[in-house]
Amino acid sequence: MTASPRQIKAVGLLSGGLDSTLAVKLLLDQGIEVLAYNLRTPFCTCERKGGCGAAAAAARLGVEIVTEFAGEEYLALVKNPRHGRGRGMNPCLDCRIFILRRAKALMEKRGAAFCFTGEVLGQRPMSQHRRALALIEREAGLEGKILRPLSAHLFEPTEAEKDGLVDRSKLLGIRGRSRKTQIAVAAELGVTDYPCPAGGCLLTDKHFAARLADAFAHGEDRLADINLLKLGRHFRLPSGAKVVVGRNEGENERLLGYLTDDAAAFEIVGVGSPVTLLRPAREEDWPLAAALTLRFSDARESEEAQARVWTVGGEEGTITARRELAEAAEQGRLGAAP
């Protein structure tokens, strides 16, 4: 005997974007109980965009959402992806497998019948073609259990459709990168509050990817190292040391939170100045760190100025920052700010 629609529960991946929002809406309109799932990683851009779009979307849709954070375990995946990377540092296949394994665990814990996503066949070149989708399903342990409501008519029926849990005739057959169809469907379903389509992962940003690749090459692969990549202007000195120069007052304050035992901070005395972080704090690198601080201070036109230097223990000193050294130090600049 087929269960009543109100007894059917499904776990849906919800990013807060148009596609995943529509997928949830399509199943809600069939009377299916949706439990939204969102996995945040160190590379999500939701904080820069004013908060978690998934939580806001879940609230608008009236569904429960479970949000988890993946830290060190996810960094290990990014550093050594089994299935390769895209144009940046994005291991899209491994990432998708990772997320769906978590969703599967939630599905089993909460007694849901199947998982679903907002994926559209052919929308993303690395992870949304048929072979990739089949690989992801298989390695996530969810063969036949992942419904894609927006492209369902382009795939063989899933177990949920075969078992009558979902009305296949009310699902869609969208293909490709254009979102014109989704926008039209959204208007038809009364879905009006959604963000413009855009990537939400720093790993696809070529500038951030350059910073991350450099960090991994120098053994900087802790979560704190990755978070530091999101701040300031980054330079790799010939010695291998890292210099980070703040771009505004807020970043200056945040950089001081990274002033650990192996670091030193710099600022130009008597003028508006960035805070600069040097790691490790070898004294032979002080002249270049001071020169970069001068380069981005209000005294940038001066040939030299005094820079204050201090450490986490409060030890202070001064060094003459020389403009002539800044050009050489700037050769090691790593990617523009994300």
Between 145-149, 190-194, 223-227, 318-322, the lowest mean confidence (pLDDT) is in 190-194
For residue 50, the model assigns a pLDDT of 45
pLDDT band at 4 (very low <50, low <70, confident <90, very high): very low
For residue 108, the model assigns a pLDDT of 96
pTM score, whole prediction? 0.87
Q: Are 122 and 233 part of one and the same domain?
A: no
**44-93, pLDDT tens digit by residue?**
876 555 456 899 999 999 999 999 999 899 999 999 999 999 888 999 99
pLDDT band at 227 (very low <50, low <70, confident <90, very high): very high
Q: Are 283 and 172 part of one and the same domain?
A: no
Averaged pLDDT for residues 204-218: 94
Residue 85 tokens, joined: 């990377």
The separation between CA 240 and the C-alpha centre of its own chain, rounded to angstroms, equals: 27
**235-280, pLDDT tens digit by residue?**
999 999 999 999 999 999 999 999 999 999 999 999 999 999 999 9
Q: Is residue 189 a contact partner of residue 29, using CB atoms and an 8 Å limit? A: yes
**141-181, pLDDT tens digit by residue?**
999 999 999 999 999 999 999 999 999 999 999 999 898 99
C-alpha–C-alpha distance, residues 316 and 325, integer Å: 22
Domain boundary among 132, 167, 202: 202
For residue 1, the model assigns a pLDDT of 38
For residue 224, the model assigns a pLDDT of 93
Q: Are 66 and 132 part of one and the same domain?
A: yes
Averaged pLDDT for residues 290-307: 97
Q: Are 237 and 303 part of one and the same domain?
A: yes
Averaged pLDDT for residues 280-308: 96
C-alpha–C-alpha distance, residues 326 and 290, integer Å: 9
- pLDDT of 202 > 50? The answer is yes
Edge-to-edge strand list for the sheet holding 304-311: 233-236, 242-245, 276-279, 264-268, 304-311, 316-322
User: Looking at per-residue confidence, does 192 or 183 come out higher?
Assistant: 183
For residue 195, the model assigns a pLDDT of 67
Q: Is residue 67 a contact partner of residue 55, using CB atoms and an 8 Å limit? A: yes
Number of structural domains the chain divides into: 2
Q: Are 258 and 147 part of one and the same domain?
A: no
pLDDT band at 314 (very low <50, low <70, confident <90, very high): confident
Q: Is residue 314 part of a domain?
A: yes
**DSSP conformation letters of 243-278:** EEE-SSHHHHHHHGGG--TT-EEEEETTS----EEE
Q: Are 116 and 263 part of one and the same domain?
A: no
Residue 101 tokens, joined: 């394994």
Neighbouring residues of 38: CB distance < 8 A, sequence distance ≥ 6: 13, 14, 15, 16, 52, 54, 55, 65, 66, 67, 68
Q: Is residue 336 part of a domain?
A: no
Q: Is residue 267 a contact partner of residue 274, using CB atoms and an 8 Å limit? A: yes
Neighbouring residues of 70: CB distance < 8 A, sequence distance ≥ 6: 39, 40, 41, 98, 102
Q: Are 195 and 228 part of one and the same domain?
A: no
Q: Are 158 and 88 part of one and the same domain?
A: yes
- pLDDT of 3 > 50? The answer is no
Domain boundary among 186, 202, 218: 202
Distance (Å) of CA 174 to CA 72, 73, 96, 204, 218: 36, 34, 20, 24, 44
Q: Is residue 127 part of a domain?
A: yes
- pLDDT of 200 > 80? The answer is no
Q: Are 158 and 214 part of one and the same domain?
A: no
For residue 52, the model assigns a pLDDT of 65
For residue 53, the model assigns a pLDDT of 84
Q: Is residue 337 part of a domain?
A: no
Q: Is residue 148 part of a domain?
A: yes
Q: Are 109 and 146 part of one and the same domain?
A: yes
**86-128, pLDDT tens digit by residue?**
888 999 999 999 999 999 999 999 999 999 999 999 998 888 8
Domain boundary among 202, 234, 262: 202
Q: Is residue 213 part of a domain?
A: yes
Q: Is residue 140 part of a domain?
A: yes
Q: Are 89 and 29 part of one and the same domain?
A: yes
**What is the extent of the structural domain holding 322?**
205-330
For residue 325, the model assigns a pLDDT of 95
Q: Is residue 74 a contact partner of residue 38, using CB atoms and an 8 Å limit? A: no
Q: Is residue 338 part of a domain?
A: no
pLDDT band at 5 (very low <50, low <70, confident <90, very high): very low
| The amino acid at 225 | D
Averaged pLDDT for residues 194-205: 74
Q: Are 162 and 104 part of one and the same domain?
A: yes
CA-nearest of 107, 25, 334 to 207 is 334
C-alpha–C-alpha distance, residues 310 and 266, integer Å: 7
For the domain that residue 92 is a member of, what is the CATH number?
Answer: 3.40.50.620
